[in-house]
Amino acid sequence: TRWPKPMGQALHDTILSAVRDMVGGEFEDGTMLEQVAQTWKDTVIVPWVRDVVGTGAYEADAWESKLDFAVAECFATIRIGEIFDIVATFPDSMPAVHELRDAL
């Protein structure tokens, strides 16, 4: 996702860190992307970005879709980094496999 720097880098780092803290190592819950990470985005990141860029710019510059993509991208990055653990705990980790598929 292309964002204005340094705000874009700060957002990406914040999203990656938060998503890692929320979903890292949790493979048996199939709601980590939609219920946990996206809800966090909607309650924390979206209001902050709206305040920073303004509601008009938020809508005009399609920030909602950029943030959705960023959360999915960070989620996939984390899950790919955990792929060995996901395979090692299969079939218990099947929900994590399905969520990774959905995120990609």
Counting every residue written for the chain, the total comes to: 104
- Surface-to-core class of residue 37, CB atoms within 10 Å of its CB (0-12 exposed, 13-18 middle, 19+ buried): buried
Structure tokens at 42: 């909607």
What pLDDT does residue 14 have?
92
What pLDDT does residue 2 have?
57
What pLDDT does residue 47 have?
94
25 Ramachandran zone, left/alpha/beta (phi>0; psi -120 to 50)? left
Longest dimension (CA), the chain: 47
- pTM confidence score: 0.82
Question: How many other C-beta atoms lie within 10 A of the C-beta of residue 31?
Answer: 14
What pLDDT does residue 41 have?
93
Going residue by residue through the chain (104 aa), what tens digit of pLDDT does each one get?
Answer: 456 678 888 899 999 999 999 888 888 888 788 888 889 999 999 999 999 888 888 888 889 898 999 999 998 999 999 989 999 989 988 888 888 888 88
Rounded Cα–Cα distance for residues 9 and 1 (Å): 10
What pLDDT does residue 4 have?
65
